[in-house]
Structure formats: C-alpha cells, structure tokens
Amino acid sequence: MRTIDFPPELRSFLHRTSKLAALTGAGVSQESGLRTFRDAQQGLWAQYKPEDLASPEAFARDPKLIWDWYTWRREAIKGVRPNPGHYALVEIEKQIPEFTLITQNVDGLHRMAGSQNVFELHGNIQLVRCSECGEFADEWDDDLESVPQCKACGGLLRPDVVWFGESLPLDQLEGAVEAARTCDVFFSVGTSGVVQPAASLAHAARNNGAVVVEINAELTSLTEKADFFFHGKSGEILPELVKALWS
C-alpha cells in the first residue's frame, strides 16, 4: 500500500483542534461490501432508479414494491461489518475533545463500529415504524402478500428512513448544523455531496472558518473548495491518518 503524505499544516491543525465534525456518505460503507447509493441497484431492481423508489409518492403508489425494495436492502446489509474506515473514525473520536459524526448512511455501521456521538441524518434502515401513527414496530412478517400493518392502528409499516421530499429528523439536523458551524476542522468522507441539506454542511463549516478536509474516491463539487483533498478509499486513508498522527 502506498504511504500517504499528510502535509505538516494538516498535522498541525489536527493536533491543535478541539472540535472536529465529520460528514460521511455511502462511500465509507463501500469497503464493507455495500454498494453506494447511486450504484446500488442490481438484479430485479436494476430497472428502477433509487430516487424513484425512495419517496412518499412511490410508497403511496405501490407500497408493496417499496417495502420489498427495503427488505432486499436490509437483507443485503445482514452480516455486513464495519471496515477500517469506520474504526479509524472511532479512533479519531477518542483523540479529539469534541467530535461529531454526521452520517447520511442508514446502515448503522458507525454505531456498530463504536462511534458514540453520531447524528443519523437519513434515519436507520433497521428501524420500522407506522406510516400513519409513527409507532415503532419490533417485529413484522416479511412473507405477507401485502405490506405488514401497525399493531396499534393498522397503518402500513415503512422503514424509518428519510425519503426524497421529506424533512430530516429535526434533532439530528440541528445537531449536525451546530457541529458544522462551530467546528475548527470538518471532514467530508465518501459522499458525492449532491443531496441537501447534508451537502451544505461543509460550506457552512468553511464559511465559519473551519479547515475542510475531503476524502473521496472521486473528485466532487467540494474538492476545489476543500483545503485538503485525499483521493482514494476512506478505508485506507483514514487508518493511515490515524497512524500518522496518533500512534
């Protein structure tokens, strides 16, 4: 594996920072074997764009189709483990006095790895709630001909994730915005930065004087505005960063 050259200014910022916020996207889970959001559709589902399935309109039109898509995605996550990128973020949290992890991922892998201060902007695919009364369901039958129903009110169950056109959970969003506005270093890792409001967090941090560090396998719209850009896999770059700075 090549050794990454972390510039002395970055080392100095990271050694001095007391407040770091990190935004992650689907790229961080790619090395756990999960396909990224925009590259996810396979088999039966290849004919659909995820954007056309992850919406309240799609659920209203064909709830069983959407339920089955999430069941398929939940199955794909079963047995998936965090990768070295997730664990490196846990290590960084131990080194920085105030560390906030903001994720767009619904796979729960950051918490599984051991990250503590986590805001999940887009929900968690493992949780299921009623589309009518909001009551969470602990168990449901996936083998029915139709979408399972809420035991409390009979409404259709749905995944506890944010769909296009829906608001983000306010407590998670407020926590993320506060962390981005007040941090001295902001990491953007494995996200294409095309979905708002998550994409605006790096800019909010930058406008408030934070040093912005991007790690991505490709260039994004943030790249030229970032103070530091590391081109490659987060599961390789983050552990190297931890090793170079804190071991």
Give the whole-angstrom CA distance, residue 230 versus residue 179.
Answer: 22
Of the CA atoms within 13 Å of residue 129, those in its CB half-sphere come to 13
Q: Name the residue whose CB lies closest to ligand OAD.
A: 27
Is there a contact between 117 and 93 (Cβ–Cβ < 8 Å)?
Answer: yes
Q: Which is nearer to ligand OAD, 184 or 237 (CB)?
A: 237
Identified binder of ligand OAD from the candidate list 34, 53, 54, 58, rule CB under 6 A: 54
Identified binder of ligand OAD from the candidate list 118, 162, 213, 226, rule CB under 6 A: 162
State which of positions 15-34 bind ligand OAD (CB under 6 A): 25-27, 30-31
> Does 102 help bind ligand OAD (rule: CB under 6 A)?
no
From residue 92, alpha-carbon distances to 33, 106, 192 in Å are 23, 21, 22
Q: Judge whether 231 counts as a catalytic residue.
A: no
DSSP 34: P
Stretch that binds ligand OAD, among 7-15, 143-151, 152-160, 192-200 (CB under 6 A): 192-200
From the list 71, 145, 122, 113, the residue with the least C-alpha distance to 238 is: 113
Whole-number minimum distance, CB 90 to ligand OAD, in Å?
17
**Active-site residue among 110, 122, 203, 231?**
122
Is there a contact between 18 and 97 (Cβ–Cβ < 8 Å)?
Answer: yes
> Does 37 help bind ligand OAD (rule: CB under 6 A)?
yes
DSSP codes of every residue in 148-210 = -B-TTT-PBEEEEEPPTTSPPPHHHHHHHHHHHHH-SEEEEES----STTTTHHHHHHHHTT-
Stretch that binds ligand OAD, among 88-96, 128-136, 174-182, 231-239 (CB under 6 A): 231-239
CB atoms within 10 A of CB 195: 17
> Does 220 help bind ligand OAD (rule: CB under 6 A)?
yes
Q: Which is nearer to ligand OAD, 38 or 64 (CB)?
A: 38
Give the residue numbers annotated as catalytic, written as ranges: 122
Binding residues for ligand OAD (CB under 6 A): 25-27, 30-31, 36-38, 54, 104, 122, 162, 190-192, 194-195, 215-218, 220, 233-235
